[in-house]
Structure 1
Amino acid sequence: MEFVMNGRPPVEIDTSRPHPARMYDWYLGGKDNYPVDEAMGRQMLALDPRVPVMARVNRAFMHRTTRWLAENGVRQFLDIGTGIPTEPNLHQIAQRVAADAVVVYSDNDPIVLAHAAALLRGTPEGRTEYLQADVRSPDAVIEGARKVLDFGRPVALSLIALLHFVSDEDGAHDLVQGLLSELPSGSYLVVSHATADFTPEESKAATEKLKAAGVNLALRSRDEFARFFDGLDLVEPGVEVPHKWHPELGEPVPGQDDGVIPGYGAVGRKP
């Protein structure tokens, strides 16, 4: 399918197979998805009916971490793997706390590009920009981000629900360390990630179904997740299931306490 936007060349969107960003949108009740995404989403629901709750818990984790960072003086954010805009977006959370916050969104998905204008409605005092780039090309991400962000000041690097789509063979840990190496002392890393630690059988079945549909999922253990924060100072409470990371900073998601939400979240500061 071709998606035409003013001032841009046509964007090709593959609607023949499910896409993680569109499935995530469907879980959140959005409308920017296609029948193939809903069909796979329903298969995931059959394996674990908490999947929509997981999506909302993950979104709420992003809101709370962004609020915490802004309240603790961070004014620059680099969000990679942005996904389809669902309000409130990261820049809206940050700029509610600090109107002068600067946010760069980065994604390689054509459907996110098609909705990029929705990501750019920030405060007059602040700034928001969208960068079409792939996390697997970190040099391109950094080059684009440098045009907006001051890399002489702390930056919060946000990788929300992204790294479980990057395998070890693709060098997930090296990618993160490479991105962090470009950021100054006082910067932060924010990561949320799915795991099979709590639901091994359901997770195995989901991984196999997604792989058959062309979506690869790298579910990591707690220790494997914690490796992303090697060399960083973890913000309390450290590595935690996402809904237990500073719950006082946001409203609880209905259903989040019905068993363990199979994922991890953490925030680390670069010394």
Structure 2
Amino acid sequence: MTANDEIDISRPHPARVYDYWLNGKSHYEADAAAAERVVRVWPGVVLGARLNREFMHRATRWLANEAGVRQFLDIGSGIPTEPNLHQVAQAVAPETRAVYVDNDPIVLAHAQELLSSTPQGRTAYLQADFTEPESILASPELGETLDLGRPVALSLIALLHFITDERGAYDIVRRYMDALPSGSYLVVSHATADFDPDLLTRVAEAYQSTVAEGQIRSSSEVNRFFEGLELVDPGVVVAHRWRHDGDEAQADITDAEFPVYGGVARKP
């Protein structure tokens, strides 16, 4: 069976909806319809998808350049959109290694784009579910690519708001971080209703009715994912303000326009 045989195009998937907002080409009619329902409620979501991607770029660049991280585990990686995480990191350190994980078969169909490593580095792709950390951490794809005896950056970009408390979101993150050595990092971006509760409630309703269940969290709830870790300055902030490199266009965007928190923390 091919990857395409496994793709259910009648139901929207978060990775493909996100691809639509990023003006990608790897989505279907159901994904576009779901994405447009959210756009009608929150026109700024298209800008938000781009800003979220830029947060990932800055966090990855900082980890590779300032923290010296050479291994990345990107779960919920989504459909490839250049530059991908490994391309950002390998531009700093060509020997960087990365493992991508997603549960959407269409990402597998495009995985070759995630495997375009430098000769010095290496990348791998694994189709798996974030909520099963032990199977991901024990997978041959990960074991042949990353050395879990050395620091790893766990990147969870726009993923955790799809994992409810009932599904054990905090415990799952803890299980990943417990398996990683001292000097590893956690990177998170997460939607919030702190700035406009009515808007995010309507967005959540539009999204969950067609795409996936989820849970919007407050600042204190997002901070809980980093318990026991050392937050990198400036802490958990609206993601476009996390080390935004003096970009004036980003500086002019209000928190309510991009209600997504971002943070990076080190495991002591």
The yes-or-no answer on 1:16 pairing with 2:13 is no
Amino acid at match of 1:226: N
| Rounded Cα–Cα distance in structure 2 between residues aligned with 1:29 and 1:190 | 24
Q: 1:214 to 1:89 in 2, by over 3 A?
A: closer
Q: Determine if the alignment matches structure 1 residue 147 to structure 2 residue 141.
A: no
Q: What SS does the aligned partner of 2:56 have?
A: helix
C-alpha displacement of 1:14: 1.2
Alignment partner, residue 60 of structure 2: 66
Write 1 or 2 for the structure with the bigger share of helix.
Answer: 2
Q: Which digits, 9 at most, give the CA deviation of each residue in 1:17-74, with x for residues without a partner?
A: 2211111001000011111111121111111110001100100000000000000210
Deviation at 1:147, TM superposition (A): 2.9
Q: Please list, as runs of the form range in 1=range in 2, the aligned pairs for 1:5-154 lying within 5 A after superposition.
A: 11-72=5-66, 73-144=68-139, 145-154=142-151
SS of residue in 1 equivalent to 2:223:
helix
**Superposition TM-score, scaled by structure 1 size:** 0.93
What secondary structure sits across from 1:70 in the alignment?
helix
Contact 2:76 2:159 in 1 (8 A): yes
* AA aligned opposite 1:189: L
Alignment of 1:230-241 (within 5 A): 230-241=227-238
Contact 2:153 2:185 in 1 (8 A): yes
Count of residues in Structure 1 that have an aligned counterpart in Structure 2: 264
Q: Distance in 1 between matches of 2:49 and 2:236?
A: 18
Is the CA contact 1:238–1:266 (under 8 Å) kept in the aligned structure 2?
A: yes
Q: 1:70 and 1:88 mapped to 2: Cα distance?
A: 15
Query: What aligned pairs does 1:171-186 form with structure 2 within 5 A after superposition?
Result: 171-186=168-183
| Secondary structure of the corresponding residue to residue 84 of structure 1 | coil
Q: Indicate which of 253, 256, 264 corresponds to 1:257.
A: 253
- Over 3 Å counting, the alpha-carbon distance change for 1:215 and 1:238 in structure 2 is same
State the Cα distance separating 1:209 from its structure 2 match: 2.0
Q: For the residues of structure 2 that align with 1:142 and 1:222, how far apart are their CA atoms?
A: 29
Q: Deviations over 1:162-184 (max 9, x none)?
A: 00011111100000000000000
Q: CA deviation at 1:126?
A: 0.5
Question: Is contact 2:241-2:251 (8 Å) kept?
Answer: no
Partner residue in 1 for 2:194: 197
Q: Distance in 2 between matches of 1:177 and 1:143?
A: 16
SS in 2 for 1:192: strand
Can you give the 5+ residue segments of structure 2 that lack an aligned partner in the other structure? none
Give secondary structure in 2 for the equivalent of 1:49.
coil
Bigger shift: residues 169-178 or 191-200:
191-200
CA gap 1:237/1:254 in 2 versus in 1, 3 angstroms: closer
Question: Do the aligned partners of residues 83 and 252 (structure 1) sit closer, same or farther apart at CA in structure 2, a change above 3 Å counting?
Answer: farther
Identical-residue share of aligned pairs (%): 55
